[in-house]
Structures are given as structure tokens and as C-alpha cells.
Structure 1
Amino acid sequence: MDQLGAIRAFVRVVEAGSFAKAADTMGAPRSTVSKLVQDLETSLGLKLLERTTRSISVTSEGNAYYERAIRLIADFDDMNNEATRGRLATSGKLRVDVGGTFANAILIPRLPEFYALYPEIELHLGVTERQADIVEEGIDCVIRAGDLPGASIVARKLCSVEIVTCATPGYLEQHGMPSSPSDLEHGHFFVQYFFARSLKPAPVRLMKGEEKIEIYSPIRLSTSDATAHLQGILAGLGIGQTFEFLARPFIARGDLVPVMHDWAPPRYPVHIVRPAGRFPSVKYQVFADWVAGVFSHYDDGSSAS
């Protein structure tokens, strides 16, 4: 029995949640993956997975074995990667998913610098606001703000970006300048962002010292696209919270006015996320290090590698 191959198959099944999905990510027949895991269980004398016709679940022994297995695979891949570092290690395709705001405003304008360092890496950039399943979809890494996407991941914090609460001068002339959270809930409208996958609205949050509150105001526009969200604020539809780096040029020109200076929105953490259970490729490592340098310009100093 190829024991390392069987261990890899078991790890893939746990992460994918089914034999069929694991087989797809491995490029192998389902029957082969099933037999590898069955042979592994036989050799160990342990039941690692509970199987039904509809689903699988990991036993307590399987969970303990999985935790050790991912470290073993990482060490093995680390050894091989160390042996093959060099030209071949920094060439080929790297699949990256990133939201449109970060792709268009931050990442793509700086890519010439990356290619000056690593000309043989081909970036396959999926620009989307949805929360991708990086294990199931075979994505090397994801750059995202806010909540982290599920389990079986390794996350590296890149920065914490500033959020600004703002509106147009015309809107404020019509509705008044809010000076307290209660002002926002009476006589004001909001342009709201919602998350495309969950359809949940991004809460309007404010902080003053240790005090944290959420605001619930009438909504004029709700959108899952950051550019459309900013355009809604610029159109004078209401007050909105957006990334400061997006609003900055409009504030400088006087098209937008920051409000609620004493009540700041909490910063949004930004992470680069990769699947757990596999040692990261050299392509990923050099890209992640470069991205960390790019995003450090937007940080408040709280991020850590």
C-alpha cells in the first residue's frame, strides 16, 4: 500500500466532505480514493470515517489522526519544496481569488512590480465578491476582508483597512449633519453593502473609546458591489460606510464629507487565506510575501505574519 498516498487521500476526503469531491480534486476515480482510505483504516486497525449512503463523518480517532496527518504531509512537502526551490519553483500558474475593490484599486496596479521579480509565474485572478470554497474549487489562495471563510484554512493577516462614514454635501444640506448615533436613526437614510453569498447586510458599526454600537437606519439602496455602493453614496442617496482609500479622492475634491468624527467605524481586517493540510508552494509564499508588502501601506500597524 502507498501509505503516504492513502494518508493524502484521507486528508482530502475530510477537507472536501465526500469521496466524490476528494476524487475530483485529486484527479482520481472515486473508487481509487475509497480503496486508499479503506486500506489505511485496515492497516491502522481503526475506523477513521463513518459512512452512510448520503454522507460521511469523521470519527474521534479520525479527527486525531487528521491533525497529525496534515502536519506529516506539510513536513514531507516542505522537504521536497526545499529540494526544488529555484527557477522551477517560481514558475507556473497560481490561482488567486480576490474581491473587485482590492483587485482594481490595489492589486492590479501594482502587478508590474511583481512580474519584475517573478516573470514566470502566471496569475489566474478570479475577481469576485462571493466567498469561494478554496478546498473544493482548487484555489491556491484568497484575499478577503472581514470574516474568514470557514474551516480547513490557514490565514495570514495583511492589514486592517480604515472605514469612513460619509455622505455628499447635497445630502447633508437636505437632511442635516448627524452628530450622534441617535441622529443617524432618525431622519437619515443609509446606502448599505450586503455580502453576495450570504445576502447578509454589512452592519453599520461605530466605536467611541470602548463603546461599540450598531446603527439601524432606513435603507435607500442595498448592493453587493463595492463600486455600486460608492456610487450610491456619491449620488446622494444616503450616508454610507466605505473603505477610506476609495473615498479619499472624493473627500479631497469635496464630493464627499466625512461625518460622525467622534464615532469611528472599526477597521476591517484583510487576510490572505490558503487551504490547510498542504505545505504552501513557493509560488504562494513569494506571492503572499509580496502582497503583504503591498497591503502594509493600508495598515494601522496591528497586522502580523
Structure 2
Amino acid sequence: MDQLSAMRVFVRVVETGNFTRAAVTLNLPKTTVTNLVQALEAHLRTKLLNRTTRRVAVTTDGALYYERALQILTELEELDGSLSNSQAQPSGRLRVEMAGAFADHVVIPALCDFAQRYPQIQLDIGVGDRLVDYIAENVDCALRAGTPTDQSLIARKVGELDMRTYLSPIYIRNFGEPQHPSELETEHFSVGYLHAQSGRVLPLEFRRGNEAIDVTARYVVSVNDSRSYVNAAVSGMGVVQSPYFMVREALEKGELVPVLSDWHREPLPLYVVYPQTRHLSNKVRVFVDWLAKLLQKLSRDPALDIRKKMAAYRQEVA
């Protein structure tokens, strides 16, 4: 029996909750996974797992063995990584989750640079704002907007985004332009954005000097995807608050214009998160470092003077 392989398989079975998911994430036949765990139990002369038809439950001895096995495997990865850093580039599959807007507008357009730097890394990108089971789905890390609240995750801040308020000329022609954030509660509409965890529509935040207003705005439609959020605003459904990179194309086409320009909101922090039990491997580390440098370039483009565009639009409709 290859004891290291058996330990890795046992740890994965515990983390995923059953043999089938462990086999899928390890890319092994289920029979191989089962045989390795049985061989490990025979070697240790103790039962590590109690099997049921749907899940496995860890025995007392199994829980103790899992903690020590995980520590040993993590230390072994660190040892291998420290010796291989100067001899070989990071390699292997890297599973990353991120919102579709970041994938489409930021990461994918720059991926040729990453691939040239790290040609031995195979990048699997999961797109969406959904909740992720990092262990069961074998996700290495995720890019998330906003301060993480899950205490089981390690978070590294990699940037922040300036947030502004935008509206479409279609909406302004139909309903006019709000002059104060409070009007979004009584006279005007926003596009609602549904929080992935709570399922609630997020409030709009406005700051001006010492004034701070959080608005629960009226809405006709709410979405849980950032691209749909911007598209709904372009179609005239209401106000949105968005980072510049997401609305740049719409601004250049005149499909959106900035409103309530005297007000702003706190910058939106960006974090890379990964589970505490997941070792930060070299491939994850180089991707996070590359991503942090990439996100530093998301500052507002000074070549596009949207204030002049807005002034011209107002003059046109006056």
C-alpha cells in the first residue's frame, strides 16, 4: 500500500463527505478510493469511517487521524514547494471562482500574460456570484467583492474599486433625474442587486462630506449577476452603483451617464479567499500576486471625460 496516497484519499473523503465526490475531485475510480481507505484501516488496525448509503461519518480515531494526516500532507507540500521554487515553475490545475464581470472585463482579457508567465498552470475559472463549497468542489480560491464574513475562510485584500452612480438617458427622458439620494425611496427607481448569501437586495450607499445616507431604493427588477445589473440600467430600469470598468463601454456609447455626482460611496474592497484547511500552494500564490497587480490598473480612465459628456447630454435635452 502507498500510505501517502491512502492518506490523501482518506483526507479527501472526509472533506467531501463521501467516496463518490472524493473520487471525482481526485480523478480516480471510486473502487480505487474505497480500496485505499480499506487498506489504510487494515494497516492501522482501526476503523476510520462509518459508511452509510449517502455519507460517511468519521469515527473518533478517524477524526484524530484526519487532523494529523492533514498536517503531515500540508507540511510535505510546503517542503516540496520550497525546494522546487528555484528549479521549476508552478504547475497543475488551478480552480478559481469569480463574478462574471471580473472574468469578462478584467481577468480573461489579460490571461495571455498569465499563461506566458506560468505556462504549466491550467486555469479552470468558475463564473458566478454563487455560494461555493470550497472543499467538496475542490476550489482553490475565489475573487470576491466586499469584506468576507465567513470565518472559515482566509482572506487577502488585493484591491478596491471606486463606486459611482449611473443612469441611462432612456430613464431620464421618461422619469427625469434624481437630485438627492432620498428621491430613490419615493420618486425614482433603482435596479436591485441581490446579495448571494442573504438573498436580500443591497441598499445604495451615499457619502458627501460628513453626510452619510443608506437608501433602500424602490425597484421594479432585481438581479443577482453584475452584468445583468448593468444591462438593466442601460435598458432604463433605474439607477445603479457600479465600478467604472463595468460601465465603461456603456459610458462611451452614451448608454449610461453619471448622476448624483456630488455623492460617492466607500470604495468596494476586493479579496481573494480560500479555506483555512487548504494550503496556499505556489500556483495559488503566483495567481493571487498576478491578480493583485492586474486589479491595480482598474483606476478610472482619465481619457474619458464623462462630465463633459453629461453636460452635453443635458444641453441636448434641455
Structure 1 residue 240, shift from structure 2 partner = 1.5
Instruction: Write the deviation string for residues 164-210 of structure 1: whole angstroms up to 9, x where unpaired.
Output: 22212442354344344431110111212335x66924402315358
2:214 corresponding residue in structure 1: 213
Query: For the Cα contact (< 8 Å) 2:193–2:223, is it kept in 1?
Result: yes
Instruction: Write the deviation string for residues 23-47 of structure 1: whole angstroms up to 9, x where unpaired.
Output: 433325353365367569866xxx9
Query: For the Cα contact (< 8 Å) 1:9–1:37, is it kept in 2?
Result: no
Choose 71-80 or 24-33, whichever is displaced more.
24-33
Change in CA separation of 1:50 and 1:216 when aligned onto 2, cut-off 3 Å: farther
Change in CA separation of 1:51 and 1:102 when aligned onto 2, cut-off 3 Å: same
Structure 1 residue 133, shift from structure 2 partner = 3.1
2:137 corresponding residue in structure 1: 137
1:303 corresponding residue in structure 2: none
Change in CA separation of 1:5 and 1:155 when aligned onto 2, cut-off 3 Å: farther
SS in 1 for 2:228: helix
1:183 corresponding residue in structure 2: 183
Structure 1 residue 239, shift from structure 2 partner = 1.1
Choose 63-72 or 79-88, whichever is displaced more.
63-72
Change in CA separation of 1:152 and 1:15 when aligned onto 2, cut-off 3 Å: farther
Q: 1:35 is matched by which residue type in structure 2?
A: Q
Q: 2:293 is matched by which residue type in structure 1?
A: G
Distance 2:183 2:158 in 1: 35
Distance 2:266 2:69 in 1: 38
Choose 288-297 or 77-86, whichever is displaced more.
77-86
SS in 2 for 1:236: coil
**TM-score normalised over the length of structure 2:** 0.72
Distance 2:78 2:211 in 1: 44
Distance 1:149 1:62 in 2: 30
SS in 2 for 1:297: coil
Correspondence 1:11-50 to 2 at 5 A = 11-26=11-26, 27=28, 28-29=30-31, 30-32=33-35, 34-35=37-38, 38=41
Matched, 1:242 2:242: yes
Structure 1 residue 255, shift from structure 2 partner = 4.2
Q: 2:216 is matched by which residue type in structure 1?
A: I
**TM-score normalised over the length of structure 1:** 0.75
Q: How many residues align?
A: 295
Larger radius of gyration: 2
Q: 2:172 is matched by which residue type in structure 1?
A: L
Change in CA separation of 1:11 and 1:60 when aligned onto 2, cut-off 3 Å: same
Query: For the Cα contact (< 8 Å) 2:204–2:217, is it kept in 1?
Result: no
Structure 1 residue 229, shift from structure 2 partner = 1.9
2:85 corresponding residue in structure 1: 85
1:115 corresponding residue in structure 2: 115
Distance 2:153 2:63 in 1: 16
Distance 1:245 1:151 in 2: 30
Structure 1 residue 277, shift from structure 2 partner = 3.0
Q: 2:228 is matched by which residue type in structure 1?
A: A
Query: For the Cα contact (< 8 Å) 1:9–1:36, is it kept in 2?
Result: no
Instruction: Write the deviation string for residues 133-159 of structure 1: whole angstroms up to 9, x where unpaired.
Output: 332233333323246596764432212
Change in CA separation of 1:70 and 1:152 when aligned onto 2, cut-off 3 Å: farther
SS in 2 for 1:160: strand
Query: For the Cα contact (< 8 Å) 1:71–1:277, is it kept in 2?
Result: no
Structure 1 residue 269, shift from structure 2 partner = 2.8
RMSD of equivalent CA atoms: 3.9
Choose 90-99 or 54-63, whichever is displaced more.
54-63
Choose 109-118 or 122-131, whichever is displaced more.
122-131
Query: For the Cα contact (< 8 Å) 2:99–2:143, is it kept in 1?
Result: yes
Correspondence 1:124-273 to 2 at 5 A = 124-146=124-146, 148=148, 153-172=153-172, 174-194=174-194, 200-208=199-207, 211=212, 213-217=214-218, 219-248=219-248, 250-251=250-251, 255-261=255-261, 263-273=263-273
Q: 1:186 is matched by which residue type in structure 2?
A: T
Structure 1 residue 224, shift from structure 2 partner = 3.3
Structure 1: 5+ residue runs without aligned partners?
301-305
2:96 corresponding residue in structure 1: 96
Instruction: Write the deviation string for residues 213-250 of structure 1: whole angstroms up to 9, x where unpaired.
Output: 34141x22323332232122122221122222222454
SS in 1 for 2:105: helix
Distance 2:126 2:17 in 1: 24
Instruction: Write the deviation string for residues 113-132 of structure 1: whole angstroms up to 9, x where unpaired.
Output: 22332234333333344344
Structure 2: 5+ residue runs without aligned partners?
301-318
Distance 2:162 2:64 in 1: 40
Change in CA separation of 1:20 and 1:171 when aligned onto 2, cut-off 3 Å: same
Distance 1:264 1:48 in 2: 56
Query: For the Cα contact (< 8 Å) 2:167–2:233, is it kept in 1?
Result: yes
Percent identity at matched positions?
34
Matched, 1:296 2:296: yes
Change in CA separation of 1:183 and 1:226 when aligned onto 2, cut-off 3 Å: same
Query: For the Cα contact (< 8 Å) 1:70–1:278, is it kept in 2?
Result: no
Q: 2:18 is matched by which residue type in structure 1?
A: S
Structure 1 residue 66, shift from structure 2 partner = 5.4
